[in-house]
Amino acid sequence: MSDQQSSAASSKKISWYMLAFMAFSTVWGFGNVVNGFAYFNGTQVIFSWILMFALYFVPYALMVGELGSAFKNAGGGVTSWVLETTNPKLAYYAGFTYWVVHIPYIASKGSGGLKALAWMFLANTWYDSLSPFVVQMATGVVFVAFLFVASRGLSPLKALTTAAGSSMFVMSILFIIMMFAAPVINPQATYVPLDWSWKSLIPQFNIQYFTSLSILVFAVGGCEKISPYVNKVNNPGKDFPKGMIALAIMVMICAVLGTIALGMMFSGTDITGDNASSFIANGAYMAFQRLGEYYHVGNLFVILYGACNAIGQFSTLTLSIDAPLRMLLDDENARQFVPRGLLKQNKYGAYTNGILLVGVLSGSIILIQMLGTGAADIIAWLTKLNSVCMPMRYLWVFFAYIMLKKAGSKFKADYRFVKGKTAGVFWGGWCFVITAFCCIMGVYVEGDTLRTVLNFIMPFFLVSLGLIMPAIRAKEDEKLGVKPDKIL
């Protein structure tokens, strides 16, 4: 290779700090800070954030790095990792899980988008005063409209989602900076005095604490999205872990500083009792509204945040309908386990019957949410349900890592989290158990048996579909006299 070619190749490499910033904008968001603050009694969440980062997020991110490095030419992410380390049937289950956990997430996006529009135009909690029937009917109409949009295969939405996500990320950082500057700029405003005593910072380890941990796991997950960039780092063996450690530090700093900033705005009475659901649903908007009051700009910040969030919620709704479904059904290894009817595509390349199935499943959740007491309660319920369902896809990351380490030297990787097989299996098992524990505990809703039962039935039902589909496909193949590919 000539010096010129070497220089060109080097210029395409990613530095460790660039990787950290890329991952940061993918993993983190202001909503994570608000949810942690709401579920863990304000500033007491700082203790839990630090534990979660040290004992879960850092090893999780470094395991993703090794998987991405070992399978650098595999474009299917978690599904490809499971396929390489096990067999097509398990790879199908991994891909199916990644798709199906988006069903409750999709159901929450329409309501979240309407909430953002209400704050953008009215800058108050008027939306919460609507009956659950009205809220969910409006959500249903929006959902059906975006099912149609998804069926048209509109790719520009990806760029729109990226732009909205970037703007939300920027506003999250600006919120922290501006809130810490507010007492200097406007010392006459009313701020909540922070209690730094040991008692106020250490949480109570009760049933509510352990059933809320899924919120934190949900918040820090998703770093497997950066796996394609592992081998694009200058020196994967040294720079990738450096980037991931930098990512963990950045996220932890933002979580802690964001929590402190919220603690300067809201007291314990704002996030407990009857106010709990309202804060979970409206806390981010209330924070930006108060920030505007501190800076004497009225509702400017909440309008900007509402606009960014509305665009992000609706574009993410469309992409979440189409992208995970396409990842599952486009995969040649997964297709042999999927009923033939779901493989039907229209002229835009969209899987029409698959989108219809998403409509039925997510639509059912929208209907069930009519049992809520109001818009704020529905969003809080969906937040908890998502914290139970979405982390289930992370289980396959840790399973793939365990299988990778069990394979010994079969797979080569430029970067390794740990070299030993035993240590690798331990860390993979550790994160697998933590994730499973938090998902199971997150099902429980204190004082609400019906909601607890529904939170259990929903993920159980969704996952069971993955077991039924291969049986349906086998019957179809048998009826058609088609010999399926080798199934292990």
Paired with 435 in beta bridges are none
Top-confidence residue, 269 or 485:
269
Q: What mean pLDDT do residues 68-83 have?
A: 83
pLDDT band for position 238 (50/70/90)? confident
Ranges 283-287, 328-332, 355-359: which has the least confidence: 328-332
pLDDT band for position 28 (50/70/90)? confident
Q: What is the pLDDT of residues 50-65, one digit of tens each?
A: 999 999 999 999 998 8
Res 268: pLDDT: 84
**Cβ neighbours of residue 19 closer than 8 Å, sequence gap 6 or more:** 226, 229, 233, 239, 240, 243, 247
Paired with 351 in beta bridges are 345
Q: What CA–CA distances, in Å, run from 158 to 105, 113, 287, 357?
A: 17, 17, 28, 22
Res 26: pLDDT: 75
Res 10: pLDDT: 47
pLDDT band for position 6 (50/70/90)? very low
Q: What is the pLDDT of residues 120-153, one digit of tens each?
A: 999 999 999 999 999 999 999 999 999 998 888 7
Distance CA 152, CA 166 (A): 25
Distance CA 237, CA 229 (A): 13
- Tell me the residue ranges of DSSP E strands in 73-199: none
SS3 414: coil
DSSP state, 206?
Answer: S
**Cβ neighbours of residue 251 closer than 8 Å, sequence gap 6 or more:** 24, 27, 28, 53, 57, 220
Top-confidence residue, 486 or 19:
19
Q: Is the pLDDT of residue 226 over 80?
A: no
Res 156: pLDDT: 60
Buried b (16+ CB within 10 A) or exposed e, 335-354: bbbbbeebeeeeeeebbebb
pLDDT band for position 12 (50/70/90)? low
DSSP string computed for 319-374: HHHHHHHHHHHT-HHHHTTS-GGGG-B-TTS-BHHHHHHHHHHHHHHHHHGGGSSS
Q: What is the pLDDT of residues 368-405, one digit of tens each?
A: 999 998 899 999 999 999 999 999 999 999 999 999 99
SS3 12: coil
DSSP string computed for 18-61: HHHHHHHHHH--HHHHHHHHHHTTGGGHHHHHHHHIIIIIHHHH
Res 75: pLDDT: 66
Paired with 233 in beta bridges are 14
DSSP string computed for 461-484: HHHHHHHHHHHHHHHHHHHHT--P
Percentage of residues in the chain having pLDDT higher than 90: 62
Top-confidence residue, 307 or 160:
307
Res 19: pLDDT: 83
- Identify whether the C-beta of residue 288 lies closer than 8 Å to the C-beta of residue 302: yes
Q: Hey, what are 291's tokens?
A: 């920030």
For tokens 């059904």, the residue is 329
Q: What CA–CA distances, in Å, run from 455 to 81, 307, 420, 433?
A: 29, 31, 39, 20
Q: What is the pLDDT of residues 250-276, one digit of tens each?
A: 899 999 999 999 999 999 888 988 888
Reported pTM: 0.91
How many CB atoms within 10 Å of residue 304? 16
Averaged confidence pLDDT in the chain: 89
For tokens 């399973």, the residue is 399
